Amino acid sequence: MAGGLWARLKSGFDADAEHVTTCFLPAPGSAPIWPAQGYLRLWLAEGFLAKARSWGNDRFPVLHAGASLAFGAGAPVAFTTFSRPAAAWAVPGDQFDFPITPLLPFNGGTVEIEAAVYQAVQTGPLGTAASFVAGFAELLGPPLATAASVANAISTGLDSLIGASGDEPVLSVHYSMISPGGGGQPVQAGHLAVVNAPPGSLPGELTIGADGRLAVRGGPAAGAGGPGGSGGTGGPGGGERRLTGVDYLVVRVETRTEHDVWLSPAMMTLIGQARLARAHGRPGAFADYRAEAVTLAWTSADYVESDRPRIAAAIAAALDAGPEQAAFGDPEATVTDEVIALLPARDDPALAGLTLADLLAR
């Protein structure tokens, strides 16, 4: 379950909530995703630290961020990162599009989003930790069960480190989204922004401009005092202006109804081994590899529950086709192309009542 540094940051944000402005800006035309019907991924879209220009060359920002959501059959799991995005953070409007999480299945319940930026010293504990965690980057992606275990261990260690050092984030945010119909903010594509200024003190309404960057719209003209903006016309109904003079973070929430990677490396390996066994006249080994590939797809926590039978059925169909039928005669087609071509729709009647035992018995 989410703990360690995650819990520490949530507590700190709750205590400081009245001093920051937080809002979620839904993407135009986006719709909420329903449980077991889609996926989400988090990106650091922008970050600006007003005092970063005055930091010494040995200082830099590090980001702890991620999402906590229902995963598998257990308690909520936090998928987090602790890293140094490749940007100076000293110019308003710098776009990072830095990935925070892999694509995560939404199976219902509450999704908690968290992000915090710290000032680290190159040779200090946070700087050392950022370099150390970077070595585990490959373990923080799929398979998600492994990523969750690694992220939890890292979070626990960082919590101890930060507790001992006393470091506090320069800016942080904690935000919750839920399934549609519950009265709160539904899980939806958009931008989560946190600005280091009290609610009501900004010179206009926060928005995402046509260039995809955080801006303020309307309100008094820039330069009227307090946190302001640059460019635009200002005033009621005025144009959009870049937010300046104040720290802010923007986390982009990406949502998808379909996964963008239908076969994991392990699935592709098993499919290849099954075909090789059949080509070498080893029907017993073929059956074993086929069963393992189909079972892996049916039980993979990387996909929402409604997609697992689809992938398993497509793998079974691809393997049950004879060599002369594979790839439909297209020499350029990949294994993934074959499976996608055979992937049934979520509402395909053939999936109704389908069981893993049915696929294994064929």
Asked whether the predicted pLDDT for residue 230 surpasses 60, the reply is no
Place of tokens 């920051």: 20
Which is higher by pLDDT, 287 or 122? 287
Domain ranges of the chain: 5-256, 265-361
| Residue 324 pLDDT > 60 | no
User: Between 142 and 134, where is the model more confident?
Assistant: 142
Each residue of 73-120: pLDDT tens digit? 767 888 888 887 766 666 666 667 888 999 999 999 999 999 998 888
The answer to whether residue 232 scores a pLDDT higher than 60 is: no
- In this predicted model, which residue has the larger pLDDT, 16 or 171? 171
Phi first, then psi, for residue 24 (nearest 5°) are: -110, 130
Closest CA to 67 of 97, 101, 43: 101
Q: What is the mean pLDDT of residues 39-44?
A: 96
* pLDDT tens profile 345-360: 999 999 999 999 999 9
Q: How confident is the model at residue 4 (pLDDT cuts 50, 70, 90)?
A: low
Match 């046509």 to its residue by tokens.
Answer: 210
Determine the average pLDDT of the residues in 328-342.
78
Q: Which DSSP state fits 227? A: S
Instruction: Please report which confidence band the pLDDT of residue 215 belongs to, taking 50, 70 and 90 as the band edges.
Output: very high
**pLDDT score, position 55:** 73
Looking at residue 227, its pLDDT comes to 61
Q: What Cα–Cα distance (Å) separates residue 25 from each residue in 116, 126, 144?
A: 19, 31, 28
Q: Among candidates 17, 79, 345, 42, which has minimal Cα distance to 187? A: 42
- Confidence bin at 178 (pLDDT 50/70/90): very high
